[in-house]
């Protein structure tokens, strides 16, 4: 996510830039590999969320609204929050073009302005890796979720860990970049348990970094390499990013 409105953390300022917001989806989901990643994310989200028709869904760190739009198309009563008005403006335009009634609001993952268990499903993609206080944000996601929380993170047991180190170093040298953090599976599981949730299902995307897949530029290679890494057990060991769904087990 992108921080508290007015905050000076990089995760706020970067996404407040109109140019970044305008080109965000093209950078992430453009080209054959980008479309493959987007389709995979949509499939995983649909499976992990389950039937959402008529259910209250919250997308935290919604950005340009990709996950929110997917849930609204499936019949969910969707709210999307993000601290960047520039990102939300694009999300609102996209929803209007499809005549989807999504409530897009300024909001901060650290302090969600909703009642406990206000939503059946809470989604948060590419948030924990960037926020200043990831444990506080995860607790907030769980607080407002009645049934399920769906989130993702880059694994500390993957090539993303190397990229994260490089980004932190270049950020300290003054480069305009996002020095994200990586996570061990155990620390995510512990915080979820503390909040009354248990991990139900996990999906790991690739062993090779997405940047490598984009450099090769072949969706056939990416599909083949993922299948091979799954058969050999490397995906379960080194796959990243990790997407999971956790379900509430406490009353």
d(CA 229, CA 76): 34
Cβ within 8 Å of residue 223, ≥6 positions away: 36
Report the first-to-last Cα separation within the chain, whole angstroms: 29
CATH number of 10-248: 3.40.50.150
- Given a cut of 80, whether residue 201 has pLDDT beyond it is yes
* pTM of the full structure: 0.89
Domain ranges of the chain: 10-248
- pLDDT digits 0-9 by tens, 78-95: 999 999 999 999 999 999
- pLDDT digits 0-9 by tens, 29-59: 888 898 999 999 999 999 999 999 999 999 9
């Amino acid at each position: 996510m992108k921080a508290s409105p007015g905050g000076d953390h990089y995760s706020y300022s970067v996404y407040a830039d109109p140019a970044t917001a305008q080109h965000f989806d093209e950078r992430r989901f453009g080209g054959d590999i980008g479309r493959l990643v987007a389709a995979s994310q949509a499939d995983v989200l649909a499976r992990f969320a389950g039937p959402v028709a008529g259910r209250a869904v919250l997308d935290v760190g919604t950005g340009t609204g990709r996950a929110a739009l997917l849930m609204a198309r499936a019949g969910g009563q969707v709210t999307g929050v993000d601290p960047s008005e520039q990102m939300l403006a694009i999300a609102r335009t996209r929803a209007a073009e499809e005549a989807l009634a999504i409530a897009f609001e300024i909001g901060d993952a650290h302090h969600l302005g909703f009642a406990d268990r206000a939503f059946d499903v809470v989604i948060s993609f590419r948030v924990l890796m960037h926020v200043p206080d990831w444990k506080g944000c995860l607790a907030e996601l769980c607080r407002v979720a009645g049934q399920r929380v769906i989130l993702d993170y880059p694994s500390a047991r993957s090539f993303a860990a190397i990229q994260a180190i490089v980004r932190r170093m270049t950020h300290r040298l003054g480069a305009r970049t996002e020095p994200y953090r990586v996570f061990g599976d155990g620390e995510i599981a512990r915080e979820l348990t503390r909040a009354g949730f248990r991990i139900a299902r996990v999906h790991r995307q690739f062993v090779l970094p997405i940047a490598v897949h984009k450099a090769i530029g072949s969706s056939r290679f990416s599909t083949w390499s993922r299948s091979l890494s799954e058969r050999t057990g490397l995906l379960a060991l080194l796959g990243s990013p990790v997407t999971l769904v956790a379900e509430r087990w406490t009353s």
